[in-house]
């Protein structure tokens, strides 16, 4: 019997190590998803190479002209993704704000990975904020996306210690290791139907989630 794979669109802006983690997971496991397209808002995003190496289609949609409204830019993103029919969108270091029209087009099936324990330290520099605040622990959060930045319902979090001698770089590296584990686990759990979003936007975990790779993170 052939397995029907959930088509995933991954949006990046730079390095793409989380994209690589998803693609490595896909090639090493009998998983229930496949990355069907990778979109970047920057043609020079290093991470695009991971898709190209594997023959996965890539699309670049840059926000030009700068006068383009956020709504029009989001509409362009939707149009560019449509031919690849992604059923789940993963924001993996995508540095643009996702609008309500984008979320509607994908029925809210959009997740983001953020390098802090949300609701602490939202925004572009989650790791730097954690170091500056001298907290004892930080981590990463995978959450459903809502129009407010880094504010949607949490699917999973991973914790790491923040050491007194940590710099932004050492903490970022420690968090990133966890990101690379938990993001594929969340995508796989969604692909297996073990994580869904309720009518009210809340996260629903089926009992079967404990048998998915996400089980060990919950």
Residues of this chain that interact with ligand GRF (CB under 6 A) are 12, 14-18, 47, 92-93, 113-115, 140, 176, 179
114 catalytic residue (yes or no): yes
If DSSP states are collapsed to H, E and C, what string results for 125-175? CHHHHHHHHCCCEEEEEEEECCCCCCCCCEEEEEEEECCCCCCHHHHHHHH
In the bound state with ligand GRF, the residue whose beta carbon lies nearer, of 12 and 160, is 12
The 10 Å CB-count burial string (b at 16+, else e) for 126-145 is bbbbbbeeeeeebbbbbbbb
Q: Do the Cβ atoms of 62 and 68 come closer than 8 Å? A: no
Q: How far is the CB of 68 from ligand GRF (least distance, A)?
A: 23
Provide the phi-psi class of 106: left if phi over 0, else alpha when psi is between -120 and 50, else beta: alpha
In the bound state with ligand GRF, the residue whose beta carbon lies nearer, of 33 and 94, is 94
In the bound state with ligand GRF, the residue whose beta carbon lies nearer, of 113 and 190, is 113
Q: Do the Cβ atoms of 213 and 182 come closer than 8 Å? A: no
Q: Which of 32, 114, 143, 180 is catalytic?
A: 114
Q: How far is the CB of 16 from ligand GRF (least distance, A)?
A: 5
Q: How far is the CB of 175 from ligand GRF (least distance, A)?
A: 7
Q: How far is the CB of 20 from ligand GRF (least distance, A)?
A: 8
In the bound state with ligand GRF, the residue whose beta carbon lies nearer, of 171 and 194, is 171
Q: Do the Cβ atoms of 124 and 141 come closer than 8 Å? A: no
Catalytic residues: 114
């Amino acid at each position: 019997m052939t397995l029907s794979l959930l088509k995933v669109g991954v949006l990046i802006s730079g390095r793409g190590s989380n994209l690589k983690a998803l693609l490595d997971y896909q090639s090493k496991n009998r998983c229930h998803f496949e990355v069907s397209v990778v979109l970047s808002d920057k043609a020079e995003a290093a991470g695009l190479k991971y898709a190209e190496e594997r023959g996965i289609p890539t699309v670049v949609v840059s926000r030009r002209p700068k006068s383009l409204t956020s709504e029009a830019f989001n509409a362009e993103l939707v149009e560019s993704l449509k031919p690849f029919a992604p059923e789940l969108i993963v924001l993996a270091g995508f540095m643009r704000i996702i609008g309500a029209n984008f979320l509607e087009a994908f029925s809210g099936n959009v997740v983001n990975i953020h390098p802090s324990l949300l609701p602490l330290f939202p925004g572009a520099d989650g790791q730097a904020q954690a170091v500056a605040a001298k907290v004892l622990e930080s981590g990463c959060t995978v959450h459903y996306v809502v129009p407010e930045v880094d504010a949607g319902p949490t699917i999973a979090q991973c914790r790491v210690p923040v050491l007194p001698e940590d710099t932004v770089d050492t903490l970022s590296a420690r968090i990133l290791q966890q990101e690379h584990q938990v993001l594929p686990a969340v995508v796989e759990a969604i692909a297996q139907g073990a994580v869904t979003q309720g009518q009210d936007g809340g996260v629903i975990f089926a009992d079967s989630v404990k048998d998915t790779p996400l089980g060990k993170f919950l």
